Structure 1
Amino acid sequence: MVLKGNALYVRALIGGSLGFVTFGWDAGVLGGVLLTNEFQSAMGFPDTNTISMITSIFLLASWLGCMIISIFGMKLGRRQWIIYGCLVQVVGTIISATSYSSGQMIAGRTLIGVGNGFLTSMIPIYVAEMAVAVNKRGQGVNMMIAAASLGTALAYWVDFGMVFASSQAVWRFPVAFQVVWAFATVAVIYPMPDTPRWLYAKDRTTDADVVLERLYDKAITEGVVQEAKQDIHASLELERTESDSLRIKDFFWDTSAMQTARRIRTGMILIGVAYLMGIDMIFYYTSTIFQVYIGLSPLTASGLAAAATTVLATTNYIGSYYMEKLGRRTWLIGGAIGQSIFMLVFTVLLSQPSSSQVGAAAAAMLFGWIAVFGPTWGPVTYVYSTEIMPLRYRHIGFSLSVSCQWIAAFLTVYAGPIAIADTSVGWRTWIWFLVFNVIAIPYVYFCCPETRGHSLEQIDLLFISDSLKDTDLAQTLAHNRPVTGDLETTTKAEDANSVPGTEKGSI
């Protein structure tokens, strides 16, 4: 049976979610077993620097995977890179789960990270480009992050259950189980087509027409399908009017007509800042934070770590449901304000002499921060970054944006525990994270235009120079209505005329 319409999109969503579960699983699986005797003995009782490298090399390798996508991403298509990413992860997982030295573990996690870079760069693009309805696109990409949080929560609960075991299975089983998610992702994605946008960009018009018909469940001659096709072609032609390639200087001050470098820079800063707010420090070392720095017992620390990841997953999914109720800017600014408050109080509490009351209050502040991050800076930065990239450079722009996540996360996960262990720094490490929570507020307010309610093609009109706004191609994207700064009148008019179950011309 050939899937069509919403069923086809739902399958893409399921496949993408499974792929992000693998990311979340690996992000969380070691956090719950790092301090176990079984893991420590297998790794030769490594010192703090080695432990930091074991956990953080995955992040640096994910950056490498993103760089590979930025160079070669357009050659193979969105779907193939997802499959290749899963297969690379399987090889890395086998090496990791059979490790008897820290060197072997580092090698395995390097391969897992490269595969993860492929997945996190391509899955959100694939899901966004397969979305027909504008009011579903943000929810779909949001659900990828929710799936990653679910993977982290599941990994921590499995780790918690393995606390009661006493063999090497305490850590080998959780690490090995990641292959299940990778194979499940391949099973769902393999029968799927690639996105019509990539196919049109590669001049495979016949194949693209077929996929577009399947997504809309209408013939290519139907008006709504023709309009979607025309918008994609108009967007591609508008991008081709920019004769110059990306220039390094434009990343600092973009004077180009399409503002491509500015859009890529915005995505890089947003995702980079999100992962300098402290999320990776919290989730790679949740058990350690509760046990060592807050002073809770090992069993309580493990249970609370699993509960914290569950809170993140739950708030992610709640955020997915309400994603389109508020604008992207509202989610981001509101989230940064709430996170800043919780992080400030958490940092102040850690600076106080240790006691059970202070420890409980610090744990509560950490849970509060997680609950705010879950529906805001966790997923919305991904949503926003996939939306603002021009089609021709989408794989480059988004992979570079995600690469900033991995660089920021690597610095955090590698240097964070070393800094905290230094008695001259200690709790002051968290001031670093507090700063990024705070500076995010003015950055979004002044630098990020609202994208909610616009098709991926119409978002071009939010960034292009005035010299392009009067062209026929720009007017085609605006559906022959005047191009305004926020496209508000265009969006309302299209919503009124949309086909039931879709948004007109807005995949």
Structure 2
Amino acid sequence: MARAVPTNGRAVLLAVFIAFGSYDIGVISGCLIMPDFIDRFGEMDLNGNMFLSSSRQSIITSLLSAGGALGQAFTSDRFGRRGSILIWSAIFTIGVAIQTGTARSIVQLTISRFIAGLGVGALSGVFLYNGETAPKKLRGTFLVLYQLQIIIGLFLSYVLDLATHTLSNSASWRVPVGLQLVWGLALLSGIFFLPESPRHLLGLSRTKEATRVIAELNGVPIDDPLVIETVEELQFAINEENAGGKATWAECFSPNNAMWKRTANGMMLQFIQQLNGQNFYFYYGDTFFKSSGTVLSPYVIQVILGGVSVAGTIPALVLIETWGRRRSLLTGAILQAICALIAGLVGHFTLAPTGTAQNLLTHRNKQGGDTLIAFAVLHVCSFSIFWGPTPWVYLGESFPLRVRPKAIALGSATNWFWNFLLGFFAPRIAADIGPLILLIFFGMLVFGYGYVYLFIPETKGLSLEEVDEMYRSGVKPWNSPSWKSHLIERMHEKEKTRNAEDVRESNANTDA
């Protein structure tokens, strides 16, 4: 039978929809300086004026990140990838609904953000779903597409903050916060139309269903050679993976198949990503830029940052499959480190002290503020192209099926744990050292460059099973771009050996 030409149209639509269920972490940045929000959830100073202290900002912001990225590991295998997304979408939606309906209780606000964070963290497992359903040549692009949708959500939140911040009532912050309900409801309503992961179905011995899903995702007939070969390849790899029995959390750190290296790499990339510095701008940009002396509204600056983030993620859709993972990470580390160093030093030596009246700012102060903002924009743009999507792509494609939910959960939990710490401590640190906080991110980016060069292999163009083989081969990360897989050859050799044994056994029975 002639091989059909894959169209991948169904897979593209699937990736677009599943990515649409993204969430918004930037909306709270604008809310922190809205008068009505401060009046409801702030504290009273000695003069009777309401304000949000750095500690209260920390609690409000960071609790969204204290949720349950580990949760999806307990639901993905038991309820399937689709079922897991449904459960955590519901939890996220409930948390957002409570948050939007909060009147004046700081306790209700923070608890509802924690509940929403449970869903947000576990929905990081969407990368597990996208990684398992995407054709290998498009897997990186599809995972970047998910990141793009998140960034679009951020941009929309900044636009809404700009549009509503002048309102004198609670609609100024309830509207942008409540918009997150759209994302949750989109997943809740649409998840029933999504197919289950073919790898998960094969792991449950539901071969017919897996075959149908693979055919649909590639846009070819169910009996096409491409589908047959893909099912055989996946089944072969799954059988080898499952030979060791049921996976445990400890296996994620086992020396077998270099699992500890893979888990460490996934967690380290998420750790480094969170200390790149970009989330400092996302979370506290409005507050930070308000003291920079610029004539631009901090809301306008956030919209600019959001727009730059969207524009930056678009070329990443191509670069992730042309430049590859390693080159993207190395390039991004250099560019962002330069931006963080310049912005930190310029801000420290030229900005006026926080709280200085606008009419007392010198020309040098204003130039320093403009320079800091310019390099903040370049920093965020570089992050969106390179370090924003790439660690998630890498996390989604680095593990065998048997431990994939647990390993991805560990990487996601690392991301959200450090996101929480950044959100909690950043305003306190910035209150003490100001723009010099950016030098902390500079140091982390220098470390990140070294770590990627020494420990992160290239996974571009490999199937998930070939990634598994590459790690087991022991290839040095700097030599990995030229590494070639022998998985198909091994599968065919094993099949030939089995056929030869069957022939010998048949001949022996005939002679007897």
What TM-score bracket applies, with the shorter chain setting the length? Answer: 0.7 to 0.9
> Distance in 1 between the 2:247 and 2:8 partners?
37
Distance 1:166 1:277, change over 3 A: same
1:286 alignment counterpart: 285
Residue 76 and residue 465 in structure 1: after superposition, are their counterparts in 2 closer, same or farther (change >3 A)?
same
Paired position in structure 1 for 2:124: 120
Deviation of 1:246 after TM superposition, in Å, equals: 5.4
- For residue 383 of structure 1, report the CA deviation from its aligned partner: 0.7
Select the residue among 423, 444, 454 that pairs with 2:462. 454
Q: In structure 2, what is the equivalent of residue 417 of structure 1? A: 427
Matches of 2:217 and 2:307, distance apart in 1: 34
Q: 1:247 to 1:89 in 2, by over 3 A?
A: closer
Do the aligned partners of 2:57 and 2:427 also contact (CA within 8 Å) in 1? no
Letter in 1 for 2:449: I
The equivalent residue for 2:92 is 89
Q: Does the residue aligned with 1:432 lie in a helix, a strand or coil?
A: helix
Contact 2:62 2:420 in 1 (8 A): yes
Letter in 1 for 2:214: L
Q: 1:432 aligns with which of 436, 440, 452?
A: 440
3-state SS of paired residue (1:164) = coil
The 2-side partners of 1:291 and 1:278 are apart by 18
Specify the alignment match of 1:72 in structure 2.
Answer: 75
Match of 1:443 in 2: 451
Kindly provide the CA deviation profile for residues 438-464 of structure 1, in whole angstroms up to 9, marking residues without a partner as x: 111111111111111111111111111
Give 1:195 deviation, angstroms. Answer: 0.9
Matched, 1:321 2:318: yes
Residue 98, structure 1, aligned to residue 117, structure 2: no
What amino acid sits opposite 1:442 in the alignment? G
Write the distance in 1 (CA, Å) between the matches of 2:235 and 2:170.
56
CA distance in 1, matches of 2:160, 2:332: 30
Question: What's the offset of the Cα at 1:366?
Answer: 0.7
Q: Structure 1 residues 261, 242: closer, same or farther in 2, change over 3 A?
A: farther
Kindly indicate whether the alpha-carbon contact (under 8 Å) linking 2:91 and 2:119 is maintained by their aligned counterparts in 1.
yes
1:485 maps to: none
Contact kept, 8 Å, 2:233 with 2:491, in 1: the verdict is no
Matched, 1:350 2:347: yes
Task: Give the superposition deviation at 1:67.
Answer: 1.3
Q: Is the 8 A contact 2:312 2:381 kept in 1?
A: yes
Task: Give the distance between the partners of 1:216 and 1:13, measured in 2 at CA.
Answer: 13
- Corresponding residue of 1:501: none
- Asked if the contact 1:14/1:188 (under 8 Å) is kept, the reply is no
Aligned with 2:213: secondary structure? helix
Give secondary structure in 2 for the equivalent of 1:31. Answer: helix
Q: Which residue identity lines up with residue 388 of structure 1 in the other structure?
A: S
Contact kept in structure 1, 2:337 and 2:446, CA below 8 Å = yes
What's the counterpart of residue 60 of structure 2?
A: 54
Which residue of the partner structure matches residue 107 of structure 1?
Answer: 111
- Indicate whether 1:376 and 2:378 are aligned: no
Paired residue secondary structure (1:420): helix
Q: Aligned residue for 2:293?
A: 295
Aligned counterpart, 2:303: 306
Contact 2:325 2:459 in 1 (8 A): yes
Q: Supply the distance in 2 between the matched residues of 1:88 and 1:453 (Cα, whole angstroms).
A: 35
The one-character-per-residue Cα deviations of 1:120-179 (angstroms, maximum 9, x if unpaired) are 12x1121222212x2211010001111111101100110001123221100011111211
Distance (Å, rounded) in 2 between the aligned partners of 1:433 and 1:169: 35
SS of 1:135 mapped into structure 2:
coil
1:234–1:476 contact (8 Å) kept in structure 2: no
Do 1:239 and 1:392's aligned partners in 2 also have CA atoms closer than 8 Å? yes
* Structure 1 residue 364, shift from structure 2 partner: 0.7
What is the distance in 2 between the residues matched to 1:307 and 1:428? 23
Matched AA of 1:272: F
State the match for 1:130 in structure 2.
133
1:160-209: CA deviation from partner (whole Å, max 9, x where unpaired): 01123221100011111211122122333221111100111122223222
How big is the shift at 1:5? 5.9
User: How far is 1:210 from its partner?
Assistant: 2.2
2:32 matched residue in structure 1:
34
Asked whether the 8 Å contact 1:419–1:426 carries over to 2, the reply is yes
**Distance across 2 between alignment mates of 1:382 and 1:477:** 27
1:333 aligns with 2:355: no
What is the one-letter code of the residue matched to 2:148? A
CA spacing shift, 1:438–1:180, aligned 2, 3 Å: same
| 2:179 is equivalent to residue 169 of structure 1 | no
What is aligned with 2:152? Answer: 150
State the secondary structure of the residue aligned to 2:195: coil
SS of the aligned residue for 1:374 comes to: helix
Q: Give the direction of change, closer, same or farther, for the CA distance of 1:250–1:39 in structure 2 (3 Å limit).
A: closer
Q: Is the 8 A contact 1:234 1:477 kept in 2?
A: no
Change beyond 3 A, Cα 1:476–1:341: closer
CA distance in 2, matches of 1:244, 1:187: 33
Cα distance in 2, alignment partners of residues 245 and 209 from structure 1: 25
Q: Say if 1:178 and 1:397 are closer, same or farther in 2 by CA, change over 3 A.
A: same
Over 3 Å counting, the alpha-carbon distance change for 1:478 and 1:326 in structure 2 is farther
SS at match of 2:193: coil
CA distance in 1, matches of 2:62, 2:147: 20
How many angstroms does 1:396 deviate by?
0.9
Structure 1, residues 359-417: CA drift from partner, whole Å, max 9, x if none? 11111111111111111000011111111111111111111111111111111111000
Unaligned runs of 5+ in 1: 467-473, 483-507
Bigger radius of gyration: 2
